[in-house]
Amino acid sequence: MTIQWFPGHMAKARREVSEKIKFVDIVFELVDARLPLSSRNPMMDQIVQQKPRLVLLNKGDLADPEQSKKWQEYFQAKGFHTLIINSQQSQGTNKIVHEAKKALKEKIERDKRRGLKPRAIRAMCIGIPNVGKSTLMNRLVGKKIAQTGNKPGVTKGQQWLKSGKELELLDTPGILWPKFEDPRIGKKLALTGAIKDQLLHFDDLAIFGLEFFARFYPTRLMERYQVSEEDLFLPSAELLMLISKKRGFKDDYDRASEMIVQEIRSGKLGTYTLDRWEELGAIEDEA
């Protein structure tokens, strides 16, 4: 299964981001904490250039906490200020302005020396589809202004939003990139909901998810689907068939596949991180 998704509005949004980057002080880059590297658009380094950046590992409640700590350290070592947040429940979002001020400390002090009056920090929020940008905007602004949806491609245009007196936010549509060099990136993004389901084959995606959990979280699979440790060594397609029968779906593997994908996405198999810290070198090669 090869997954590609680059609608026309994304190409337009990329151009607009490039044009408006000069108007902001800092970039808030949202990534999915379950795949901190695979959910980063490799074009963003070129677009953002030397702007200060705050990397926000969103959906931290769904990610493996030990893995998230390692990835936070990774980004900090790269020179990025970093927070683990859950915009859905407002966890960690109250630290964003403070962390942004730390990232802009030199600029703030320079402006003060020049006698400039303090003004609100101007930030651009970027990230791939369905990473939680609009939800974060609404949390920071304190009311529902940015349109949200648990599916990619909801935000189509750019808009400025005010967050109190200290922060002004430029929301942008989620932007993927034209081609995934490694098909595993497409599968990881699809499994977490960053790509429209209409473009997917759920059986391939379910098998990908089963193989991942059998390797890194085998107990979760055994407990959730009442399969034995020996069952995990079955060929993936046979394991899918077994789970389908145990759930009463008989030979309806499409229904079983969609169920598995949705349960992984919703966290019913527990917290997980698809980008494994211990496989950093391989992941960087993929990206």
Mean pLDDT value of segment 233-258 = 94
- Average pLDDT rounded to a whole number, residues 72-95: 94
Determine the topology of domain 8-171 in CATH.
Rossmann fold (3.40.50)
pLDDT in tens, 110-133: 999 999 988 999 998 888 878 888
**188 Cβ contact list (under 8 Å, min separation 6):** 35, 38, 39, 274, 275
Would you place residue 48 in the very low, low, confident or very high pLDDT band (cuts 50, 70, 90)? confident
Q: What six digits make up the tokens of 92?
A: 């960690």
- Other CB atoms within 10 A of residue 94 CB: 11
Beta pairing partners, 161: 169
pLDDT given at position 50: 84
Q: Residue 209 pLDDT more than 50?
A: yes
Q: What value does the mean pLDDT take over residues 135-154?
A: 64
Query: In which residue are the tokens 């034209």 written?
Result: 178
According to the model, what pLDDT value does residue 270 have? 96
pLDDT surpasses 60 at 167: yes
pLDDT band at 156 (very low <50, low <70, confident <90, very high): very low
Domain ranges of the chain: 8-171, 201-286
Query: Among the listed ranges 45-49, 150-154, 259-263, which one has the minimum average pLDDT value?
Result: 150-154
> Between residues 127 and 227, which one has the greater pLDDT?
227
Tell me the two tokens of residue 79.
Answer: 């020179």
- 182: its two tokens: 């490694």
- Give me the pLDDT at residue 138, please: 85
Supply the mean pLDDT for the chain: 85
Q: What is the 3-state secondary structure (H, E, C) of the chain?
A: CCCCCCCHHHHHHHHHHHHHHHHCCEEEEEEECCCCCCCCCCCHHHHHCCCCEEEEEECCCCCCHHHHHHHHHHHHHCCCEEEECECCCCECHHHHHHHHHHHCHHHHHHHHHCCCCCCCEEEEEECCCCCCHHHHHHHHHCCCCCCCCCCCCCCCCCEEEEECCCEEEEECCCCCCCCCCCHHHHHHHHHCCCCCHHHCCHHHHHHHHHHHHHHHCHHHHHHHHCCCCHHHHCCHHHHHHHHHHHCCCCCCHHHHHHHHHHHHHHCCCCCCCCCCHHHHHHHHHHC
